[in-house]
Every structure is written in C-alpha cells, then in structure tokens.
Copies of this chain bind each other. A is one copy, B any other.
Amino acid sequence: MSELDKMFCPKSVAVIGASKNPKKIGYELVSNILAGGYEGGLYPVNPEGADVMGLRSYTSVRLIPGEVDLAVIAVPAVYVPDVVEECGQKGVRSLIVISSGFKEVGNTDLEDRVLSAARKYGMRMLGPNVFGLYYAPSRMNATFGLSRVFPGSIAFVTQSGALGVAMMGWTNLYHIGVSAVVSMGNKADIEEADMLDYFEDDDRTKAVLMYIEGAKDGRRLIDSLKRITIKKPVVVLKSGRTEKGASAAASHTGSLAGSDQIYEAAFKQSGALRAFDFVQAFDWAKLMTMQPPPSNENCLIITNGGGVGVMTTDACEESGITIWPLPDDLQAGFKNFMPVFGNSRNPVDLTGQAYEDSYFGSVGLAMKDQRIGSIIVLYCQTAITDPVAIAKSIADVCESQPCDKTVVTSFVGGPQCEEAMRKLDERSVPTYPIPERAVSALAAYYRWQRYKQRVDKI
C-alpha cells in the first residue's frame, strides 16, 4: 500500500474553507465532490460552522468526529499554516492545498511554513496552488474544475491548472476516459515523480499523460520514469521548447525550464513518449489504454479510398511504421473481399463499393495472420455505404477473437461518420477523424514497444 492511498482513496474528506456561496472555490469543491458520487464521509469546515449544501459543517477540523484521511484546504494563504497545524493535531493523513498566494507570487517563506507543518505530522501534501485531484476509482472529484469527468484509465498529471481544468472538459466532450486528474501546482512536497510512482502500481491506470513545464528534481523524475515505462506508457507534454516559450514558462510557474535538449534526452532515455500538443498526447494515450501493443513491425492498411491509402502510407513511412509488402497468399485472400478493380497490395483498397461484409472479411483475415503486427482500417464516407454498419462490423470482428495486434481506425466524413466513430471508441476500437492521427498514435505505440524490447534485452 502506498502512503498516497489516503489521498487517492480517502475514507473521509474535510473541505476546509467550504462555502455556501456558489461563486467561491470552497463551494465548487463540495459541489464537485457530491456530484462525482464520492461515497465516503464529507465534512465541510468553515469559521461560521454554517451548513453547506445540506451537509453539517464544523468550525474546525479538530471538531470532526472520527478520522479524516484527506483535508482539502481552500482558505486565504495566510491562514494555511495554522490550518495545516490543526490538521496535524487532528491526525489528518493527507492534504490538498488549493489556496494560492505562495511561492508563485514570491511568498516562499509562507510556503516553507506550510511544508514544515505538514512534515512535522508526516502528512503528504499536494500543492499549494492546485485545482485539486480527481480519481475515478474512488469517484472523488476534489477539484474546483468541471463537475463531469469521463472515467477511464488515463492518469492526467498537469503543472498547468487552467489547462488541467480545460482538459477535464475536453476529455469529457470527446469521451476520453481518465482514471485521475492531478494538479501539481507549486510542488512543495508531492512532485511528478511521486505521481509516477503511484500510478506505476495503480491497476486502474493503463497510461499516464503528464504536462510539465519544469522538473523539481530531474534525477528523481528520470528514475521514476524509467521504472514506470517498462510497465505502462507515459506520454509527456513539455512546453518551453523554444527560448520565448521557456521564458513564458518562467513567468508562469516560475519553472526554470532548463535546456530543452536536456529534457528531450531525458525523456528518450527513460522511455517517455514526448507529444507535440495535447490532442496528440490524448490520441496516443487513448490507443494505449484500448489496444495491446503491436506484436511485430509489419503494418497493414485496409481502405475503401485510394487517396487516403496513399496519405496514410506517407504518414506511416515518415513515422517509422513499416508498410509490409503482402505475400501472394494474403493478396489472394484479400481479393475475395473486393471487386476486380480493387487493389490487394498494401494499402489494400477495397474500393468505394466496400460494404460491411468486405470490412468484416478483410479485417478478420488480417487479424488471424500472425505475420501482421498492426492494422490501420480506413473508411471514407460514400453515398452508398453506411459508416455505422461498417463500424459495427469492424468492432464485431475485433471482438470475435482474442487479438495480440494493434488495431486503429479512421473514418472520414460527415455526421454519420462521427456516430460510427463514437461506437468504435465505445467498443475499445480506437478511432480518429483523420488517418494521420491514427498513424501518429500507432507510431508512438511502436516507439514504446521498441524501447521496452531494448530495455528487456539489457
């Protein structure tokens, strides 16, 4: 058991600074914890002891009956050291300090006092200056971010609060499932390495996505990355790549971004996958939580449109994915699922006349073949075929047999394609509105797989 379990899966939570005023963060916190369906004890604390959202409140954390595993603190910065001291006296096990006004605005001494108080009582602390913590398994949305989160198995760790909150909305909009959202803030105590260590052993997390502007302890970060990446993929977004970006980061979180090349090398060396932007990062993580890694280097493209086949071939070649030249036996097999003017070479072109049976047959054939390590299935909307039916046939054939290879899809077209893609995602066949995004995700999975294989050999 990790000492952070009390923070991620607390049996009881005190919200210190809980408020009846819907414009206050202390209201939002209680409201989100309730809305998320958290089933442990919930104790609002505020100076008046006024009830909050029908919950009995307390004027001090020390007056709460029973144990408090986690205190979420949202009081003005100057009061935080005393509140933390009280938490220690009460025997609180862990802290999330939402309050801002510390190191990020130069109040280093105040932050040090808070940390000392926490350490004195052996409490682990997230923050200060965070928007909170969401953890799907405990249904705890202890954030002042958005109330609706789509549960899943990506843990999202962010040094940017605004980005984190926005991402909660964005992942919900696109039905990308997250196991955790963690706001890192000033990292007085808990830093990214702690989170990686926690998620390394968290069965509910299959991939970690981390936005970072600068590391507190680079050596520790690399060590933690090296440990976790042999078990599960970590996708990193590190901004401050350019001089001006680094300077903007410095004035944002006070991060000394350091030379970007050093980070780049550190990520490579430790098996972390660096993404360019957050859509790409979530694209990658989505695939990695839905599908097994590719079983070998041979990739097959199945399409109903020659043009997207060509574009996808380009994208594969440019990102280190091998378009496998199909042997005659397989070409002959694919010919059964296409008209005479189809193309049985890779990319396999079923033509615009491909209905659901063509997809079912050809994807099924590919899935059975051990020589193929990954499959990219493409569909361009036509006037005569039904994207939703085709999506169903692809998901059906994927579910019809145990599969050791990676399947990604892309459906290009209008609203019906959007519906088709939602159904594929729901059935864990990851799909993307453009082939290049599918390729980018698959390429990242290959890079991780190759890294692991290299490390395994050492």
Contact = CB atoms under 8 A, between A and B. Distances in A.
A349 B436 CA distance: 33
Given A166-B305, A383-B144, A242 B161 contact: no
Copies of this chain present in the complex amount to 2
Contacts of A237: 311
A242 B318 contact: yes
Given A279-B434, A414-B172, A28 B383 contact: yes
Interface in A201-247: 211, 213, 237, 239-245
Interface residues of A, number: 78
A307 B383 contact: no
A175 to B, nearest CB: 11
B252 A310 contact: yes
A251 B343 contact: yes
Contacts of A305: 160-163, 166
Contacts of A314: 239-242, 244-245
Interface in A133-183: 144-148, 158-163, 165-170, 172-173
B213 A252 contact: no
B307 A380 contact: no
Given A244-B323, A311-B277, A160 B306 contact: yes
Contact of A162 (B145, B213, B307): B307
Contact of A380 (B144, B163, B244, B306): B163
A304 interface: yes
Nearest to A278: B434
A265 to B, nearest CB: 18
14 contacts: A23-B384, A161-B352, A162-B307, A162-B382, A166-B308, A166-B381, A169-B413, A170-B381, A170-B433, A242-B317, A243-B317, A245-B310, A245-B317, A248-B345
